Structure 1
């Protein structure tokens, strides 16, 4: 029984439920219970088994009212019945919180109507975002080594598909985004370059370390992938050759998955995924390697397509929110303009009057200042003139006294001469 089947059985989940990620954390209470939280397509589950005390908690996403981030460490999940569960001690709380809310938003969107109707509404009502009408089909396994495992129909053009998933700066969900979501480490992805032997083909490489499950004595392995693509107006051929370096018999084989993306209509394309295992050495484990490889690819593509759906729904919701906000803002501004136009005119008129009054007052003050200064100057000049007149009068008096004194002396001198 695979790990996924064990978890579905443990939490009594529906058979086709997709489990995206799991994280170590603790359920907060008087005594915190440390365990792991599992984020699935329609459920959030928590399991703890410490000192014989088991906790097996299953929350349906459709019964969640909201998810809130509390302080630096806690995430609160509030149900429709107002019951609250608080989880703490995450290694990367923000990542878990954002992913939980993505699941909640996706569930809320799907509850409004079926996914096809939602996608058609997004296409028709929102700034023509190419979004998530996806028809999904996983095919039954065959005994053949080279087989088609799944096909997806997308409601956007071939060029848009390339921009979303394959381009160097893929704007929706790149291979690097997917490996990061799977918690791979040491991811190193090169840019697309022209193949030297075929000028119509592009290639790039990626190295990363992937977690392993079900392999004895190994919990991770180094991976090396070689990607190529060719494209024209009607089709994209995209391949990935994978070497798994640190697993038993890893030097005996390489896995290859190929995308054939074909144009159906102007705004519709079909993705078919083929998988094969190429052996470079003979081994008695050939059938086991083929079965495990193809099973691993199917599980990985289940995760990939569900993450793509979440990203598309987020993008559509963001677009809707942006458009609604812009329209609301525009309408509100028109209403305000219509309601307040008279007050604006009066306000401007009053403002102009105030400005004129202020100018007149300033001008009047300046004139008064000038007049005061002029009067002060005249007063100073008059005072100076009066002082000068007074001085001249004093001098004139002194001259007269001096003249009288001299006359007296002269008279005395004349008398004296006469006596002689």
Structure 2
């Protein structure tokens, strides 16, 4: 793939003739990825420099970027990267590419290569996703409306380190991205610290498939930095659980929950303690047994990861049996549980695969679990649901009704299975 321009360095001089010295009036460094094509076509930028700052000098620019590479060149680039990464890389859907570009404000020619669920380690780990493209590496998190996003160029990275599992990294390896000094300052709010050389350091952990993520990141970094391959770098390959690795390819990020209209679909009061009910979200044998009885085959979950005080997040994956869906299919999702006034709120976003119109929507579910007004030993559970439509279809109403009915039926079956086990 041809190297598309990323930066433009401009310096303005005052030149009175061939016998006079050229005097610098100011300079500016323009990053094309941080501006839309419309902005670049007609923009005013302030110049840096003592003289320019004192007089607030501005430069009028009209920049037009022409990219005629097309999908063919993108596929050729992906084929080349497959040899570096050692795994198949698929061209992402237009919707997913558009979402990636919208999140980080990138131009249309910046296409998504891969993304991985992980946590950003600062004072408190923050659950989110890493996004990788030919020119940038970005991180995005949206925890109930609290958003954090940043990206930096591959050329800004000075080194990539791997730290072994530790207690602070929740028992998983960590990937440390170290930027060159004085570069990537727009992303400094995501850095954990600066090292003794003044370089920003970013810590990423809790990857569902650490080996795949680190291998892809290293390959992309070396592509943009030929000298990087000479630097020492050791990656500990982890086989892990094959089921957990399978979740990574289709994991769903909890984004846009606040934009989905939720309707109450179920409520119940059962004579059982709240802690016993929360075993349904524990990841233990009890949860797996109940979910498989309810038609969720090959049920698999990751560990809960703290994302903020009183809030945790995990991923789930399972297959649907024919009682729930005539087409079968697979479900991947992300759950967040939050302490809430003596109870719990569990938000879940799920996506379906291998069924008709699966890529048209995502399902958002919210469980509100709290003590009952009748007795302290009772709990109350309300379930709300909403559908986020990604594409329009004339079957939208029929699909929505079918999903609601099937989900309500499965939930009732879960509660019916629940009582005998805890009684």
TM range (shorter): 0.3 to 0.5
Question: Highest CA radius of gyration, 1 or 2?
Answer: 1
* TM superposition score normalised by structure 1: 0.36
**Higher fraction of helix:** 1
Q: Please identify which structure carries the higher strand content.
A: 2
Instruction: Give the TM-score of the pair, scaled to structure 2.
Output: 0.35
